[in-house]
Structure 1
Amino acid sequence: MHFFNRITLQTPESVELEFTLAGIGNRALALIIDYLVLGLTLLGFLIAWAILSVQLFDLIENFVTNGPNFGLWLLAIFFIIMFVIYVGYFVLFETLWRGQTPGKRFAKIRVVRDDGRPIGLQQATLRALLRPFDEFLFIGAFFIMFGRREKRLGDLVAGTIVIQAQTSIVSPTLTISEQAKLLYEHLLQIADLSPLLPDDFAIIREYLQRRGAMASKARIALAIKLAQQVKNIIDLEKLPENVTPDVFLEAVYLAYQKRD
């Protein structure tokens, strides 16, 4: 069962770290916010450059007879500075904020190296320089959606991945309802939990920990889907009467730990 796209990385010290990949939705949200901030920054520069260039052009035109050539030079410098601001925005924030930009911080995602370590100037620069190629014809989105590690071209070249940075949504303790506490003993009698693997149990536990932070509609849909898969694994025809998927999953969580 794979409801959370997780990845396990091994550090140079042979320590295994587990992360949840950010997903294209969170990355798109972060990019929208970043482009709003970047757009305001570029607009401010554009206004300042327009005022400065007019003054410079009027000043130098009095000494240089070939005024149009000077205008072309100003235009070239303008585009170079615009590109530097565009690239520098992502490089600066991702380097100083340990893989986050304002948009990524809002979306609670972060860029890390393939071994789980924070990115540095080199990785941030490579990702920023390749961003225009990723956004051309949505090539980056294509790679993210169909790649196993959800990497765009910049990630592939820089050796990075984008993960969820929020950890507070996972509660260290589970809230188990009284109905589930009564149900789990009955479940041990009517169902064989031996086909339920440790990985399956881990998914159930993770859902129960994360469900409090989910939107109601998404939580209900995920609980139904997960409960159905658990029923199929343990060969249970239907849920006991008046038992919700959440209560069933709580009971399975308890029963799995109490099984012989």
Structure 2
Amino acid sequence: MAEFTTGEAVALELPLARIPSRAGAFLLDLVMQFTLAATMLYILIIAMFAADADSAWLSVIVTVTVVTVLIGYPVTCETLSRGRSLGKLAFGLRVVRADAGPIDFRHALTRGLSGAIVDFWLLGGFGAVAVVTSLCSRDGRRVGDVLAGTVVIHTRQAMPSPSLAVAPPWLLGWSAQLDPSGISDELAGAARRYLTRLPTLTAATQHYLGVRLVEAMCAELRCKAPTGYPPYHILGAILARRQQGSLAAGAAVLGA
């Protein structure tokens, strides 16, 4: 399991896919790619001879087939299915962004190009580079994942619900006046981890870390912290307000 922090500072723990399951998905995709390549070559060569085309077209056909199979197949599958090739679908895997969000064409293209050039074929030693980089990465990421900002997770294991920050009722009025856009993702993530692990901290550590985080938060918000409340109440109110602001902005974009 690995912890992800979304743009709304929501903490998620997701099960990472490791080499055995990823290798199985890759081999299944390889079979599909070989089948696709053989079919394309057969159809295009038959069409070439039927049209009595020049033999120079053979190199064009081979090039188009190789590009389509090695790059077009994974990019198309992962773009249309938001992170799943046929092999990943069979093994219950999905490619997601580093913040656990769904990938788009840009991420799939970066992964596809890197896979063909660096991770597997042209410079990858038939997958040796992908295996070595995955073993060296804490999150099992190959070069394409690092360049695209993605990670591969299991989707068949039970997904824990995200832990959302909740504002104390007595601080709702204060937090409603805040502009959460001034809080950096790094600071919001640190506050989220503090609140999530609060029960495991000693009272002294809770107070010390909480006060420092409140000071940093209020400095970025350019506001004064309310007095008479424990730090985790103030942090909860700020993060809850930030989550509301992010959700409202997302709804506005979708409605546009």
Per the normalisation by structure 1, the TM-score is: 0.56
Q: Which of the two has higher C-alpha Rg? A: 1
- Percent of aligned pairs with the same amino acid: 31
Q: Given that residues 25 and 87 in structure 2 are in contact (C-alpha distance below 8 angstroms), is that contact kept between their aligned partners in structure 1? A: yes
Please name the residue that 2:81 is paired with. 97
Amino acid at match of 1:159: G
2:119 is matched with which residue: 134, 146, 157?
134
Task: Name the SS of the counterpart of 2:106 in structure 1.
Answer: helix
Which residue among 78, 87, 101 is the counterpart of 2:62? 78
Alignment correspondent of 1:109: 93
Query: Which of 18, 41, 56 is residue 46 of structure 1 equivalent to?
Result: 41
Pick from 15, 24, 30 the counterpart of residue 10 of structure 2.
Answer: 15
The normalised TM-score by structure 2 is 0.57
Determine if the alignment matches structure 1 residue 157 to structure 2 residue 147. Answer: yes
Q: Provide the residue aligned with 1:143 in structure 2.
A: 133
CA distance in structure 1 between the aligned counterparts of 2:68 and 2:129, rounded to whole angstroms? 22
In the alignment, residue 143 of structure 2 is paired with which amino acid?
L
Aligned residues: 157
Inter-partner Cα distance in structure 2 for 1:109 and 1:117: 14
Aligned in 2, Cα 1:144/1:19: closer, same or farther, shift over 3 Å? same
User: What is the one-letter code of the residue matched to 1:134?
Assistant: D
CA distance in 2, matches of 1:93, 1:76: 24
Give the unaligned 5+ runs of structure 1. Answer: 1-5, 61-69, 171-196, 199-260
Secondary structure of the residue that 1:123 maps to in structure 2?
helix
The alignment partner of 1:111 has SS state of: strand
Aligned mates of 1:128, 1:169 — CA distance in 2: 27
Work out which structure has the larger RCO, using CA pairs closer than 8 Å and 6 or more positions apart in sequence.
Answer: 2
TM-fit CA distance, 1:77: 4.0
1:71 partner SS: coil
Report the alpha carbon displacement of residue 117 of structure 1 after superposing the two structures with TM: 0.2
